[in-house]
Amino acid sequence: MSDTIEKVKCLIIGSGPAGYTAAIYAARANMNPVLYQGTQPGGQLTTTNEVENFPGYVDGVTGPEMMIQLQSQAQRFGTDVRDGWATKVDFSGDIHKVWINDTKEIHCETVIISTGASAKYLGLPSEQKYLQLGGGVSACAVCDGFFYRNQEVVIVGAGDSACEEAHYLSKLCTKVTMVVRKDEFRASKIMAERVQKTKNITIMFNTETDEVLGDGQVVTGVRLKNNVTGELTEIPATGFFVAIGHKPNTDIFKDYIDLDATGYIKNIPGTSKTNVAGVFVAGDAADHVYRQAITAAGTGCMAALDAERYLASKD
């Protein structure tokens, strides 16, 4: 444990669009924000090759490039951006205590949680290979579906989100193959019926992904296995979408912050406020519906404004 305790007016935990936007607003309000980047500096967007739906980037931008620009903008106004991640918190008293890397203790007047959520993947080596290469593996159809217009793609998943993303892809792609591990959907009846009635969606029940195929640079197909018969089938595809859920990065807050059944932080509707006064949330740590860079940035703005008003009320 550190011998010295640092006092901070505004601590931002996480460095995606939500965290950096909160930092920009907080810094401009003279809140002297300190931002810790977390285990994945830049958040999920650092695994996104092209971002074309964020306003202002006429020709698109890579995810890492956008995060570098947001970081530079936050630092321009005085944000103290640091390496490290929060490993423990204590929100039981008037002073919000946060420990960084299990060693440094910080006492905060306000805290903005922007730790995001991590997409769940199958964990296949071939899947991870093409994910890292940016060569055809994605966990966000709305983000990346545009790049697969008039092509054939595969999507894995059986819940409402998977059905929604499959239906979205069906409007862009010539063929969508939906891979469902069991013999039925987990999705609501209305969502399941929607994909079943869509002509260019083929549903393969009792099926799992055996391997993502490619040429070493991009995805060219998928080998599927029927988990009842053991039969292997190879189908052509240029895109492989995984829609098996997200895990919010909120475990360290569960003893103090109200979470829903799947771990997303509950905020007071219409605000970024949590159940703990002076602690606010922004981005995907509280958003299981939209999960877009632009909505995360918007809630980052809200969190900074709410934190500023909270501090003003205490003066």
Chain segment 28-79, per-residue pLDDT in tens: 999 999 999 987 776 777 766 678 889 999 999 988 899 999 999 999 999 9
Q: Which of 143, 173, 287, 306 is catalytic?
A: 143
The confidence score (pLDDT) of residue 47 equals 67
Known catalytic residue at 255: no
Whole-angstrom Cα distance, residue 273 to residue 269? 8
Domain locations along the chain: 5-118+246-314, 121-242
At residue 134, what is the residue type? Answer: G
Instruction: Name the band, by pLDDT with cuts 50, 70 and 90, for residue 115.
Output: very high
- The string of pLDDT tens digits covering residues 74-98 is 999 999 999 999 999 999 998 999 9
- Is pLDDT larger for residue 230 or for residue 3? 230
Assign 5 to helix, strand or coil.
strand
Assign 310 to helix, strand or coil.
helix
**Pair 22, 74: CB distance under 8 Å:** no
For residue 277, how many C-alpha atoms fall within 13 Å in the half-sphere facing its CB?
8
- The string of pLDDT tens digits covering residues 129-176 is 999 998 899 999 988 999 999 999 999 999 998 999 999 999 999 999
- The string of pLDDT tens digits covering residues 195-210 is 999 999 999 999 999 9
The confidence score (pLDDT) of residue 36 equals 97
Q: What are phi and psi of 247, to 5 degrees?
A: -115, 115
CATH topology classification for 5-118+246-314: FAD/NAD(P)-binding domain (3.50.50)
DSSP E strands: which ranges in 20-85? 34-36, 80-82
Q: Which of 10, 144, 163, 306 is catalytic?
A: 144
The confidence score (pLDDT) of residue 1 equals 45
- The residue-averaged pLDDT of 238-253 equals 95
Whole-angstrom Cα distance, residue 238 to residue 228? 27
The confidence score (pLDDT) of residue 41 equals 74
pTM attached to this predicted model: 0.83
Residue 3 has pLDDT above 70, yes or no: no
Name the strands in the sheet holding 201-204, side by side, starting at the edge strand that comes first in the sequence.
137-138, 239-242, 152-156, 175-179, 201-204
Fold: same for 5-118+246-314 and 121-242: yes
Known catalytic residue at 301: no
- The residue-averaged pLDDT of 243-268 equals 96
CATH for 121-242, options being 2.60.40.10, 3.50.50.60, 3.60.150.10, 3.90.1150.10:
3.50.50.60
What's the token pair of residue 307?
């934190």
**Pair 160, 187: CB distance under 8 Å:** yes
Whole-angstrom Cα distance, residue 93 to residue 107? 11
- Nearest by Cα to 98 from 42, 34, 39: 34
Q: What is the DSSP letter of 41?
A: T
**Pair 89, 257: CB distance under 8 Å:** no
**Contacts with 76 (C-beta within 8 Å, 6 or more apart), sequence order:** none
The confidence score (pLDDT) of residue 49 equals 67
**Pair 158, 187: CB distance under 8 Å:** yes
Rounded to a whole number of angstroms, the CA Rg of the chain reads 21
Whole-angstrom Cα distance, residue 95 to residue 300? 22
Q: Which of 140, 284, 287, 306 is catalytic?
A: 140
> Angle at which helices 17-28 and 63-76 pack, to 10 degrees?
20
- Nearest by Cα to 162 from 149, 177, 147: 177
Counted residue by residue, the chain has a size of: 315
The confidence score (pLDDT) of residue 225 equals 97
- The string of pLDDT tens digits covering residues 268-309 is 999 999 999 999 999 999 998 888 999 999 999 999 999 999
**Contacts with 72 (C-beta within 8 Å, 6 or more apart), sequence order:** none
